[in-house]
Amino acid sequence: MGRITDRIAALGLQLPPPLIIPDGADLPFAFAHRVGTRVLIAGHGPQGSDGTLVGPFGKVGTEVDISAARHAAGLTGLSMLASVQAEIGDLDRIVGWGRVFGMVNSAPGFHAQPEVINGFSEIIYRIFGTDIGRHVRSAIGVAELPWNLSVEIEGELLIDG
């Protein structure tokens, strides 16, 4: 096992298996794509230990509370790492995070999107530390997300040559 894989286990966390695509969905794209020393990560949602998308589902601010959505953002980070690992093999190859774009399925008038996406940032800092885990980030509210997810996050990171 590598250093990052060991760190994930030591934190009591687990990367999910490959996504089980929801019935009726067609997703003809890569979940992570290496381009030189960059890895582009498609929008991800939270996954369970069986590979399915998990809740909470619905609009944050009415159907979903901030704490539950924040937890979903952390699970989304683990989902993203699983896709990156499938693309590059060893997560120890990650030398830095670039940017993160967080989308929150927001009820009208909900303005705490950054607090929700903090769940993602916290998990990345816990796993990678503040040097490698450091990233720029946006957190926005959207009217809807696929499959009524409460959060969806995409990003970009850097790997060794």
Q: Which DSSP category does 149 fall into?
A: B
Q: Do the beta carbons of residue 89 and residue 133 sit within 8 Å?
A: no
For residue 65, give every residue at least 6 positions away whose Cβ sits within 8 Å of its Cβ, in sequence order, or none: none
Rg of the chain over CA atoms, in angstroms?
15
* Token reading at 160: 């060794």
What pLDDT does residue 55 have? 95
pTM of the model: 0.96
Residues of the chain with pLDDT under 50: none
| Angle, vertex CA 38, rays to CA 153 and CA 52, nearest 5 | 35
Sequence length of the chain is 161
Q: In this predicted structure, what is the pLDDT of residue 161? A: 77
**Number of H helices and number of E strands within the chain?**
3, 5
pLDDT of residue 110: 98
What is the token pair recorded at 56? Answer: 């909470």
pLDDT value of position 101: 98
pLDDT at 103: 98
